[in-house]
Structure 1
Amino acid sequence: MTKTSSTPLLLLLATSLFIGCGSQTDVLTEPGPSAYLGTIPDTEQSYCFDELTAIDCQAEGAGFFGQDAQYLGETLAYQDHGDGTVTDEITGLMWTQTFTQTSWDEAFVVAAELTTGGYDDWRVPTIKELYSLMSFAGNTGTGTQDELAVPADAVPFVDTDTFDFEYGQVNRFIDAQYVSSTQYVGTTMGGDETFFGLNFADGRIKGYPIQRPGGLSYYAYFVRGGGDYGQNAFADNGDETITDAGTGLMWMQHDNGHYGQGDATYGGFIWADALAYCEALDLADHDDWRLPNAKELQSLVDYTRSPTTTDSPAIDPLLGATAITVEDGSENYPFYWSATTHAEGNGVKAAYVAFGQAFGFMTDPNGGTTFMDVHGAGCQRSDPKVGDPADYPTGFGPQGDVIRIYNFVRCVRGGATITTETSAASTWQGGTGDPPGPATCTVDGDCLADGACPPDATMGCTCEDIGAESICVPACSIDADCPTG
């Protein structure tokens, strides 16, 4: 069953303007005020997962309790005006329904000239505004992401009943990156000027080059109104908690590292332990803490800050972050787990937000690798929920994203309520019976069975211990042998 909200949606106020005696001109319906200026729309994730695939949601106190699907926020709801525009009833933002293909620079020109719906004040959205549209009911799908063919089980990370959408049409189906007006205050890829964009095909925020190589286009939805959305208003409660009046959420002032809690080697937690840590937390006379969903966590990012420009994490100094030693031996800041699974045909990964630089081992033309910031402090990527970071000495995927697995935690309270209105695991991907996921195994030979190993794993599969089970995972000697992440 899909999550449903018991909280009333925003009241829509219909207004009219009277001109002269007896004449009337209707004004488009505008949303009324939210309880908080920046109430964050729900992620729309209605399934629960373990470290492999969909499961029936567990009872409080059991393993894997406390994840995204079990806490309900304001359900995404749009008012279609019938003129190519829709209003988000939660944020108050009005959007164009159709996308435009454009360069980053040209997007601002297009917005300035746009008159959709009779309005002339369209603009390029900030990354927080754009992320409000994100739906984690999406799924990148099973198979390689380096091909143009769209996997049969792929689902876009945006409401396609409301917004027009297409997958990438040139090189890869996942090349559906949408522009925002938010520039990275640092640089990526060794010096590229960068903006933060949202990929509605693969469900990630990343830094993208302002001047895209090869003359390829980005995509854009345009927005108007709602200028307060995404603005934080932090207050120190004096008890190691911080309240954000902009969202109505209360946060731990410090992360787990401040208290010396986490793995002795890596400092953070695997995903299941991160969920349990927040569920068990008793802080400032509150015991209803939880791990934030991806949208809530991203709301904390301060995009005016970065380690290279402000010598700080990308977060307000009232909160801060524990400094860590990263893969090249330098000091930087952690990735933080969210309660949101990032579906890629299975439930192996969960979304995190990088408050430090988002490093990767970028391959150079000579076959070597260079350790660099590839996606920017403030991006949202994903990590395996369990495993050994040492198994990824040069990262994973085309930019060699570093894999940490033991990520840090900042718990939250408020803004969502526990719900039992979740979806049964047997309906994952709309099918029946066992949900899809990696094949379990006992020995390597089990991975030779039909369907046990992904077809794009050119070096075959080996049987590896992943958490409580052993599964068939691609064997590879170089990055190109493995499915990208």
Structure 2
Amino acid sequence: MKNLATIKTANLLSMFIILFSALAFVTSCSDDDNDEITEATTDDDNTDDDTTSDIELIINDYLQIATGQVTLYDNDGEVLSSVNEGEDFYGQDATYLKGAAMSYTDNGDGTVTDNNTGLMWQQVPSTENYTWSDAGTYCDDLEFADYDDWRMPTAKELFSISDFESGWPYLDTDFFTLASGEVTKDEQYWVNNHYVGVTVEGGSDAAFGVNHVTGHIKAYSASASGPIGGKYVRAVRGGDYGTNDYTDNGDGTISDNNSGLMWAQDDDGVTLDWEDALAYAESSNKATYTDWRLPNVKELQSIVDYSYSPTATDSENVGPAIDPLFSCTQLSSDVQEAGYDDDYGYYWTGTSAPFTSGEPYYYAWYVAFGRAVNDEGEDFHGAGAVRFDTKDEDGPAGEDAERYYNYIRLVRDIN
């Protein structure tokens, strides 16, 4: 059950962020070069005689959105009433409640506006299964709710509306409708990120999708069609959300000026289970900072760069799925001999997950900056995939249970 006090605190924080952004807009109107906030011009096709001009304020900064997870868990998925600093499992997602609380407006015309990002979403997606290319065409041709500038979302945009408090579905169904109308693992939605690498299923023609029910981001065969291989799509319209603006601070840290997050430039070459990863992050004093933590799943996904992959067909794109300003430890030779040549690891987040609906949260989410592999070490779901695994070696095995010891990418707030 959600803690009312923490929810109110998160909502107040969200309101402060929005008010601060509005104040920044007012004070910067006279600066023609300001690109932090832009005002869309009125489209005469989107108005009628009975309405005023429809002017949308789009905030381009990469405002981080909360995951929605406000419950604390241990390795066995048991709910913890509280965890104090220095105790086991301190530092997980619900310890910090980072990000602006999710906030939406039902516009009453089949669209939903995200009050944090400014993006407008199709409330009820098409029930048709598309190939990746056809999904893009559908969005580009869509004329709906008096708008004709719909498009296919990016992975970062679609992932921003994921809700990790309860899962199955990982979506606020008070505002968004599932395409099938059922809670099924087939609720997979295309995003516009075509995979630069090669997967077992899609070969050199794979693209990413977000599963609104299981919560994953995975690459699928872009040309697959029909009820088995095709995917749904949820159209979006609005400004440019989800771009990074990095600064190398010269001290082993990288700042993302758009998200307001500072990242460790490397991963220290350390692999740990989930509980120890939390403790490791809390005790770090890298670059003299002492407020490092394990990122939540939305924060870590925010630095994925989908233009890189260890299996990229273009040599300029070969590498882990992250900006080259960062470094990732290559997997050790003994692992590579098992079929992981030229590969990179998975990175823990502080966000817990159930294996399926109603089960304990004995899994935790990770981001694959190297290949998201199958049992044979082949690139199955693509570098940049977001999946989960059991939190320690003694945890219950299940789907994709392969790596219990993963890397840590430290994060802290710039301000």
Contact 2:141 2:148 in 1 (8 A): yes
Contact 2:129 2:226 in 1 (8 A): no
Q: The residue matched to 1:179 in structure 2 has which SS? A: strand
Residue 69 of structure 1: CA displacement? 1.0
Counterpart selection for 2:163 from 132, 135, 139: 135
| Residue 408 of structure 1: aligned partner | 407
Higher strand share: 1
- Counterpart check, 1:312 vs 2:336: no
In structure 2, distance between residues paired with 1:273 and 1:226: 40
Question: Could you tell me which amino acid in structure 1 is paired with residue 148 of structure 2?
Answer: D
Question: Could you tell me which amino acid in structure 2 is paired with residue 413 of structure 1?
Answer: R
In structure 1, distance between residues paired with 2:41 and 2:380: 50
Counterpart selection for 1:210 from 222, 225, 234: 222
Which ranges in structure 1 are unaligned for 5 or more consecutive residues?
Answer: 140-154, 263-267, 362-369, 417-485
| Residue 244 of structure 1: aligned partner | 256
- Counterpart check, 1:61 vs 2:60: no
Contact 2:65 2:102 in 1 (8 A): yes
Q: The residue matched to 1:373 in structure 2 has which SS? A: coil
| Residue 350 of structure 1: aligned partner | 364
In structure 2, distance between residues paired with 1:270 and 1:181: 33
In structure 2, distance between residues paired with 1:329 and 1:305: 17
| Residue 383 of structure 1: aligned partner | 389
How do 1:16-165 and structure 2 match up within 5 A?
A: 25-28=51-54, 30-31=56-57, 33=59, 37-53=61-77, 54-72=79-97, 73-100=99-126, 101-103=128-130, 104-139=132-167, 155-165=168-178
Contact 2:390 2:401 in 1 (8 A): no
Cα deviation 1:18-55 (Å, max 9, x = unaligned)? x9xxx99513363464xx70112100001110001222
Distance 1:404 1:122, change over 3 A: same
Q: The residue matched to 2:288 in structure 1 has which SS? A: coil
Q: The residue matched to 1:308 in structure 2 has which SS? A: coil
Q: Which portions of structure 1, spanning 4 or more consecutive aligned residues, are displaced by more than 4 angstroms?
A: 11-17, 166-169
| Residue 31 of structure 2: aligned partner | none
Cα deviation 1:425-467 (Å, max 9, x = unaligned)? xxxxxxxxxxxxxxxxxxxxxxxxxxxxxxxxxxxxxxxxxxx
- Counterpart check, 1:197 vs 2:223: no
Contact 1:359 1:372 in 2 (8 A): yes
Residue 173 of structure 1: CA displacement? 2.2
Identity of counterpart residues, as a percentage?
41
Distance 1:338 1:215, change over 3 A: same
Residue 328 of structure 1: CA displacement? 2.0
Residue 343 of structure 1: CA displacement? 2.0
Residue 214 of structure 1: CA displacement? 5.5
Residue 10 of structure 1: CA displacement? 2.0
Question: Could you tell me which amino acid in structure 2 is paired with residue 10 of structure 1?
Answer: I
Distance 1:312 1:195, change over 3 A: same
Cα deviation 1:202-234 (Å, max 9, x = unaligned)? 11111111122655331111111121x111111
Distance 1:314 1:15, change over 3 A: closer
In structure 1, distance between residues paired with 2:155 and 2:261: 20
In structure 2, distance between residues paired with 1:117 and 1:78: 17
| Residue 428 of structure 1: aligned partner | none
Residue 91 of structure 1: CA displacement? 1.2
Which range is displaced more, 283-292 or 121-130? 283-292
Root-mean-square deviation (Å): 2.6
Question: Could you tell me which amino acid in structure 2 is paired with residue 220 of structure 1?
Answer: V
Contact 1:16 1:26 in 2 (8 A): no
Which ranges in structure 2 are unaligned for 5 or more consecutive residues?
Answer: 26-38
Distance 1:97 1:329, change over 3 A: closer
| Residue 422 of structure 1: aligned partner | none
TM-score by length of 2: 0.82
Contact 2:295 2:350 in 1 (8 A): yes
In structure 1, distance between residues paired with 2:107 and 2:340: 54
Contact 1:176 1:199 in 2 (8 A): yes
Contact 1:173 1:201 in 2 (8 A): yes
- Counterpart check, 1:180 vs 2:194: no
How do 1:249-398 and structure 2 match up within 5 A?
A: 249-257=261-269, 262=270, 268-309=271-312, 310-325=317-332, 326=335, 327-328=338-339, 330-344=341-355, 345-361=359-375, 370-387=376-393, 397=399
